[in-house]
Amino acid sequence: MDLMEQETRLTESQPVPHDTAATPGTLRPGGRTAKVRRAVLDATQDALADTGFHALNMDRIAASAGVGKTTVYRRWGSPVGLVTDLLHDMAEQSLPAADTGGLTGDLRANAELVRDTLTDPRMGAVFRAVIAAAACDEECARALAAFYRTRLAEWAPVVTRAAARGEVPEGTDPVELLRAVSAPLYYRFTITHEELTGAVTERAVTAALAAARDGAFLRE
Partner DNA sequence: CCCTTAATGGGAGGCTGGTTCCGTTAAGAT
Partner DNA sequence: ATCTTAACGGAACCAGCCTCCCATTAAGGG
Q: Which does 182 bind (CB under 5 to 8 A by kind): its own copies, DNA, none?
A: its own copies
Please list, in sequence order, all residues whose beta carbon lies within 8 angstroms of the beta carbon of residue 121, skipping any fewer than 6 positions away.
49
Q: Which is nearer to DNA, 25 or 105 (CB)?
A: 25
Please list, in sequence order, all residues whose beta carbon lies within 8 angstroms of the beta carbon of residue 111, skipping any fewer than 6 positions away.
181, 182, 185, 201, 202, 204, 205
For 4, phi and psi rounded to 5 degrees?
-90, -30
Query: Could you say which of 183, 197, 198, 219 contacts its own copies (CB under 8 A)?
Result: 183
Site string for its own copies, 145-174 (x = CB under 8 A): x--xx-------------------------
Q: Which does 1 bind (CB under 5 to 8 A by kind): DNA, its own copies, none?
A: none
Tell me: does residue 28 bind DNA (CB under 7 A): yes
Give 53's DSSP letter: G
Tell me: does residue 95 bind its own copies (CB under 8 A): no
Three-class SS state of 11? coil
Q: Which is nearer to its own copies, 157 or 215 (CB)?
A: 215
Q: Where are the alpha helices (DSSP H) in 66-172?
A: 69-76, 79-92, 103-119, 121-136, 138-164
Give 191's DSSP letter: I
Residues 53-72 that bind its own copies (CB under 8 A): 53-54
Query: Could you say which of 98, 109, 141, 156 contacts its own copies (CB under 8 A)?
Result: 141
Q: Which is nearer to its own copies, 52 or 105 (CB)?
A: 52
Query: Could you say which of 46, 49, 51, 74 contacts DNA (CB under 7 A)?
Result: 74
111, 76 contact by CB (below 8 A) = no
Looking at residue 113, its amino acid is L
177, 208 contact by CB (below 8 A) = yes
106, 158 contact by CB (below 8 A) = yes
Q: Which is nearer to its own copies, 19 or 138 (CB)?
A: 138
Tell me: does residue 210 bind DNA (CB under 7 A): no
Tell me: does residue 179 bind its own copies (CB under 8 A): yes
Contact set with DNA (CB under 7 A): 17-18, 20-21, 23-33, 36-37, 57-60, 66-71, 73-75, 77-79
